[in-house]
Structures are given as structure tokens and as C-alpha cells.
Amino acid sequence: MKIAPVKTPIVAKKMFPNYVWDVATNNKELYLTFDDGPTPKITDWTLNTLNDYNAKASFFCIGSNVEKYPDVFKNIIDNGHTVGNHTQHHVKGWTTKTKDYLKEVKTAQTAINSYKNSETQLLFRPPYGQIKPKQGKKLINLGYQIIMWDVLSFDWEKEISEEKCLENVMSKSKKGSIIVFHDSVKASRNLMYTLPKVLELFSDKGFVFKTL
């Protein structure tokens, strides 16, 4: 069930200005992001589809999935995409003690760093978009950029049709939008319908797809 808008309201962005909601640009650039992987077959399908359009993206990975599927994770990196932290077990920030939340992030980062070729910027996206101000402040002090979003595809919602998922992205995205998809089993039906069409339709409009 939808509890958040497809398009992030300006007021939300102003309330949390230290988080990254979109990218300020006058160029035709979009920033695709994929949460909850790496997932066998689905992540690989996603990578192949991105390659078809010379598109780059950012993948926010669950640490336990990185540990279970290291080859899939390394494939993300080998294809030139950015990887970010999505906690070790996809925990909810609002109901997790800050010390435990930070431990989740640290554990996931250890898993990610085990397979990265080199040190890169620290990116973090809170699962469910749930993060307490104290948690966010501490992560920023540790050097993380907290990446939120401008557009939610709602690909994970089984009540959302493939056509509606596509409409969510096509109607709300603009220059510099950060768009959320999921390379997960739950989202696969809508993802596999929507992603190729988003890549094709925006490419035809002259857009390029970049990493954060």
C-alpha cells in the first residue's frame, strides 16, 4: 500500500537539506538507483538492460546479500556502476536504536569494502526512507552522503500495474531526478516491464543516465 508520494514534495527536501534528493543540473541527466540487491538473475538482468543503453546507475546493496552473492555484487562494480550502503539486514531506522543502526551500516560497509576494487565515496540510503535525525547526523559525520530520491517508481507494490509503474517514472522525472527502482524478486515484474521503456523513452528525448 502506498504511504509516500511518487514525487517527493519540496517541503520534505527543505526539511532535510543535508540529504541528497536530486542533482542540480541543467543537463538532460537522470540518476537511476536500485535498492535491495544484489539478487541472482534479477541484478544481472538489470545490468544487461542498462548496458543495452550505455546507462550507468547506483545500486544500494544490503550487506547480507553482498555476502551471499559476491559474484553478482562484483558484476555491478565491473560494469562501472556505483555501489552504496543499504544496511546489513534492511532495518527500519525509526524503530532501531541509533547504536544498533550504526552497527548495521558498519557491518554492511565491511561487506561492501571486501569486494570493491578501490575506496570510493560513501553513499547510504535508509531502507524504507526511515532515518532518525540523530542517525543521519552521525552518518554524515562519518563521511556518508545520505541519498534519498525525487521519484519513487513503486515497482515493489504488487497492486501497482506495470503501466502505472511506468507512468510514475515518465510523468514525474525531470533533469537531475534521482529515481528509485529495486533489483529484487518482489519488484521484478514491474521492473522488467518498466526499466527498458524508461531507458528507451528518455534516451529518445536526449537524456543520459549517470551514477551518483
Question: What local confidence, expressed as pLDDT, does residue 117 receive?
Answer: 60
For residue 130, the Cα-to-chain-centroid distance in whole angstroms is: 14
Question: What is the model's pLDDT at position 182?
Answer: 98
Domains (ranges, CATH) in the chain? 22-209 (3.20.20.370)
Mean pLDDT in order along the chain per 10 residues (212 residues): 80 94 98 98 98 98 98 96 97 97 97 77 95 97 97 96 98 98 98 98 98 96
Burial of 172 (0-12, 13-18, 19+ CB in 10 A): middle
Give residue 43's pLDDT.
98
The Cα 129–Cα 111 span in angstroms is 22
Contact 64, 127 (CB under 8 A): no
Q: What is the model's pLDDT at position 115? A: 83
pLDDT of residue 4: 82
Q: Are 125 and 146 in contact (CB under 8 A)?
A: yes
Q: CA angle at residue 71 from 66 to 76, to 5 degrees?
A: 75
Return the pLDDT at 116.
75
Which three cell numbers mark 129? 526512507
Can you point out the beta strands (E) in the chain?
29-35, 58-61, 82-85, 122-124, 144-146, 151-152, 178-182, 208-209
